Amino acid sequence: MHTSKQAILWKPLKEQKVQCLACCQFCLIEDGERGFCGVRQNARGELVTLVGDNVAAMNVDPVEKKPLFHFMPGSMTLSLGTMGCNFSCSFCQNYTLSQPPKEYQFREGQPVTPEQLVNTAREYRSGSISYTYSEPTVFIELVLETARLAKEKKLKNIIVSNGFQSPDCLKEMNGLIDAANIDLKAYSESFYRDQCKARLKPVLDNLVKIREMGWWLEVTTLIIPGLNDSAREIKEIAEFIKNNLGAHTPWHISRFHPTFNLTDRQATPVETIEQAWQTGKEAGLEFVYTGNIPGHNGENTFCPACNETLISRMGFQLRDIRLQNGACAGCGKEIAGYRLSRS
């Protein structure tokens, strides 16, 4: 049996109802029921988490796999996630973790303590811990407890997230999280509503807040044929990043493969990803990357000043690095993120 423990970020309402304040779903939950994510439950008028100590997936990954290309490049990160998610994406790549709790199906995870997680990260020589795979917001208690301890032990903390945290949740994370990869899945409310059961506006607001809070930030967009692949929408995403997050923000454009409830269309043509890459560069973004196309030239980091290849990659492996003290070895331009991530 999974255990439950008191949740944070909620408020009591009349008649033993509660409202969860962890994410922008802001679920109103009746006694005995769970929120939309399926892992936060009203137990006689108190909100409890069912995944406070219940890790369902854990691996030691290259940090490039998150993907983070400008934060501690070439390092390993202990990556963990629980069951449950506050989105229901038709194209979810981790649906076996994220969706079953919504149907009251709960695969047993592995009970862990924050101490064990931090010790495991150190044992495997990871420079950081990544809260990932499903959605860290729904296991915020475990994230915060582990991140505090990790920070004391000089490990960095990373979230890989859909960016749908409530303002209070982001505040709790601030000061503990060092880097984030946030999905910007599309640039239309209809996509977020119909494909994810969520909303775009809070994600845009949170991206701006994260930039202001000073975490290292990279953004990922999965391009899906017929859903978010119009030239107009791709340009809007690129321009949002440039104008609101800064030209130095890395943008990862990933290739969709049919999965979960979205099997009625083919994988994204490589030419579409290449066109999106071009659009990102034309919008003024300095670091645009292709994803899910191993060996593609778009995986490499180029100097925005002299166009020298600074880091060449094969998938998640670094092959050649031409950086000196976080700057281009050719022209000396400082490259965003690299100096920061060595501190």
Interacting residues toward ligand SF4 by CB under 6 A = 20, 22-23, 25-27, 35-37, 40, 86, 137-138
Contacts for 78 with CB less than 8 Å, ≥ 6 apart: 58, 59, 60, 117, 120, 121, 124, 126, 128, 129, 130
DSSP secondary structure of 26-69: --EE-TT-B-TTSSEEEETTEEEES-TTEE-EEEEEEGGGTT-S
Greatest extent of the chain over all pairs of C-alpha atoms, in Å:
67
Q: How far is the CB of 318 from ligand SF4 (least distance, A)?
A: 36
Q: Which amino acid is at 148?
A: R
Q: Spell out the alpha helix ranges (H) of 90-244.
A: 95-98, 114-123, 140-152, 167-173, 189-191, 201-213, 231-240
Q: How far is the CB of 83 from ligand SF4 (least distance, A)?
A: 12
Residue number with CB closer to ligand SF4 (134 or 146): 134
- Separation in Å, CA 336 to CA 129, 248, 285, 313: 21, 6, 12, 18
Q: How far is the CB of 162 from ligand SF4 (least distance, A)?
A: 11
Q: How far is the CB of 236 from ligand SF4 (least distance, A)?
A: 27
Q: How far is the CB of 59 from ligand SF4 (least distance, A)?
A: 24
Q: How far is the CB of 142 from ligand SF4 (least distance, A)?
A: 13
Residue number with CB closer to ligand SF4 (39 or 78): 39
φ/ψ (deg, to 5) at 319: -105, -40
Contact 92, 133 (CB under 8 A): no
Q: How far is the CB of 271 from ligand SF4 (least distance, A)?
A: 37
Contact 129, 178 (CB under 8 A): no
Residue number with CB closer to ligand SF4 (168 or 320): 168
Residue 90 backbone zone (phi > 0: left; psi -120 to 50: alpha; other: beta): alpha
Residue number with CB closer to ligand SF4 (39 or 323): 39
The DSSP code for 206 is H
Q: Which residue is nearest to ligand SF4 (CB)?
A: 35
Contact 4, 50 (CB under 8 A): yes
Q: How far is the CB of 94 from ligand SF4 (least distance, A)?
A: 16
Residue number with CB closer to ligand SF4 (22 or 293): 22
Residue number with CB closer to ligand SF4 (142 or 276): 142
Angstrom distance (rounded) from CA 323 to CA 330: 8
Residue number with CB closer to ligand SF4 (20 or 173): 20
Residue number with CB closer to ligand SF4 (22 or 238): 22
Give the neighbor-by-neighbor strand order of the sheet with 309-314. 301-302, 309-314, 317-321
